[in-house]
Amino acid sequence: MLEIRNLSVRYGQHVAVSHADINVLRGEIVVVLGANGAGKSSMLKAIGGMVPLDSRAGRTIDGVDVSDIPPHSLVKHGLALVPEGRGNFVELSVRENLLLGAYSQSRDDEEARLTEIFDLFPRLRERLHQQVRTMSGGEQQMVALGRAMMSRPAILLLDEPSLGLAPVVCKELFRLLVRIKKKNVGILLVEQNARQSLAIANRGYLLENGKITASGTSAELFEDGAIGRAYLGT
Ligand code: ATP
């Protein structure tokens, strides 16, 4: 389980996230909803180590305190982040991108890890030597997810994975996230696509002006009138 306590993110005087507590269990999808500028990306970056944690904040993975672990080592503790914009190495091939996802692991079982990825994303096997720059948006998102999964994470952090994808490709992406969750991976998902993400999520948090103002099961959030009006168009 990923446990985040008292997370705040400041940019100079500006407080982007204030005293947030978040939990994600293995095998569940948790979505963070919020308007533009609510602080969703800042929160995810701080959880993933891309923005330093405030000294009063705590981060544990499966009970191990990783609050002070440097970002490049968090992956060894089971945390993988797919940033907004995917973070692919677009000049490189699919295979090269995937292998970079396992850079911190032993090289002995590289092929076994690749096989696990191809089970999830058969299309990547077909496109193994294709340069990532030449792939469609949906395929590039699969490469990013595949690269993150190469580290066999306990928890996957995803920042707006559906951004810029056509509706039919979004649907496929959300189906893939459910398959990843079934591999006993916890997914913390930041999304503007509230309806589709709540439909696959177990639970969610609502972030408003840097503060968590609501949390609950997806059904509870769906039924919350204020959330419906603001984020679901109901
Ligand atoms: P969006 O969905 O539009 O990306 P968000 O909910 O992810 O929004 P953040 O990107 O986390 O929100 O931004 C939260 C606030 O922090 C915004 O007011 C933003 O301008 C500010 N902010 C984000 N990054 C920085 C930065 N590097 N320096 C200064 N302010 C920043």
What residue's CA is closest to ligand 1, atom 28?
11
Atom of ligand 1 nearest to the CA of 35: 6
Please compute the mean of the pLDDT values over residues 127-135 and round it to a whole number: 95
Q: Where are the alpha helices (DSSP H) in the chain?
A: 40-47, 71-74, 94-100, 110-120, 122-126, 137-149, 167-181, 194-200, 218-223, 225-227
Q: Are strands 14-24 and 2-11 parallel, antiparallel or unpaired?
A: antiparallel
C-alpha 234 – ligand 1 centre gap (Å)? 27
C-alpha 33 – ligand 1 centre gap (Å)? 14
Please compute the mean of the pLDDT values over residues 136-160 and round it to a whole number: 94
Q: What percent of the chain has pLDDT over 70?
A: 96
What residue's CA is closest to ligand 1, atom 31?
11
Distance CA 103, CA 224 (A): 43
Amino acid identity, position 64: V
Cβ neighbours of residue 99 under 8 Å, at least 6 residues apart?
110, 114, 150
pLDDT at 91: 93
Closest of 29, 72, 11 to residue 158, by C-alpha: 29
Residue 215 banded pLDDT, cuts 50, 70, 90? very high
Atom of ligand 1 nearest to the CA of 207: 6
Residue 84 banded pLDDT, cuts 50, 70, 90? confident
What residue's CA is closest to ligand 1, atom 16?
16
C-alpha 9 – ligand 1 centre gap (Å)? 10
Atom of ligand 1 nearest to the CA of 41: 7
pLDDT at 144: 94
Kindly list the distances between the CA atom of residue 72 and the CA atoms of 126, 139, 164, 218, in Å, as whole numbers in the listed order.
30, 26, 28, 32
Amino acid identity, position 213: T
Please compute the mean of the pLDDT values over residues 167-180 and round it to a whole number: 92
What residue's CA is closest to ligand 1, atom 1?
36
Q: Which is more confident, 230 or 64?
A: 64
Please compute the mean of the pLDDT values over residues 52-60 and round it to a whole number: 86
Q: Is residue 19 within 8 Å of 8, Cβ to Cβ?
A: yes
Residue 164 banded pLDDT, cuts 50, 70, 90? confident
What residue's CA is closest to ligand 1, atom 18?
37
C-alpha 97 – ligand 1 centre gap (Å)? 28
Is residue 98 predicted with pLDDT exceeding 80?
Answer: yes
Q: CA Rg, the chain, in Å?
A: 17
Is residue 72 predicted with pLDDT exceeding 90?
Answer: no
Write out pLDDT tens, residues 99-125: 998 776 667 788 889 999 999 999 999
pLDDT at 160: 92
Any residues with Cβ below 6 Å from ligand 1, and which? 11, 14, 16, 34, 36-42
Write out pLDDT tens, residues 179-201: 999 999 999 999 888 888 999 99
Domains detected in the chain: 2-78+153-232 (3.40.50.300), 88-151 (no CATH)
Write out pLDDT tens, residues 17-28: 999 999 999 999
